[in-house]
Chain A
Amino acid sequence: MYYVAFALLALSFYKSRKKTTIALMKAWKSFNSIFTKFLGVICLVGIMLAVFDENVISGLIGAESGVIGMIISSIIGSITIIPGFIAFPTAKELLEDGAGYSQIGVFVSTLMMVGVMTIPVEVTYFGKKVTILRNVSAFILAFVAAYFIGKIAGHVWF
Chain B
Amino acid sequence: MVLKKYLFPFIAMLAIAVLYFVNNELGKKAVEITTGSLLEMAMIIPPIFILLGLLDVWVPKETMIKYLGEHSGILGVVISFVLGSAAAGPLYGAFPIAAVLMKKGANFSNILIFIGAWSTTKIPMFMFEIESLGASFALTRLVVDIVGIVIIAKIINGLMTKKQLEKIYSNIEDV
Instruction: State how many residues of chain B have any CB contact under 8 Å with chain A.
Output: 77
Chain A residues whose C-beta falls within 8 Å of the C-beta of B52 in the assembled complex: 26-27, 30
Contact of A156 with B by CB under 8 A: no
Q: Is the beta-carbon distance between A95 and B133 smaller than 8 angstroms? A: yes
Q: Is the beta-carbon distance between A134 and B156 smaller than 8 angstroms? A: yes
* Complex interface residues of chain A between 124 and 153 (CB less than 8 A to chain B): 124-127, 129-130, 133-134, 137-138, 141, 144-145, 148-149, 152-153
A1 nearest CB neighbor, chain B only: B47
Instruction: State how many residues of chain A have any CB contact under 8 Å with chain B.
Output: 75
Contact of B152 among A42, A49, A91, A138 (CB under 8 A): A138
Q: Is the beta-carbon distance between B50 and A9 smaller than 8 angstroms? A: yes
Q: What is the CB-to-nearest-CB distance from A15 to chain B, in angstroms, rounded to a whole number?
A: 8
Known: A44-B15, A47-B19, A50-B19. A1 touches B92 (CB 8 A): no
Contact of B16 among A2, A47, A130 (CB under 8 A): A47
A selection of 29 A-B contacts at a CB cut-off of 8 Å is: A2-B43, A2-B47, A6-B47, A8-B54, A9-B54, A20-B54, A30-B49, A34-B175, A36-B5, A37-B9, A38-B92, A43-B16, A51-B30, A81-B90, A89-B132, A91-B133, A105-B141, A109-B141, A113-B119, A115-B119, A120-B8, A121-B92, A133-B156, A133-B159, A134-B115, A134-B152, A138-B119, A141-B148, A149-B141
A12-B57, A20-B54, A30-B175 given. 4 additional CB < 8 A pairs?
A30-B99, A39-B38, A104-B137, A105-B137
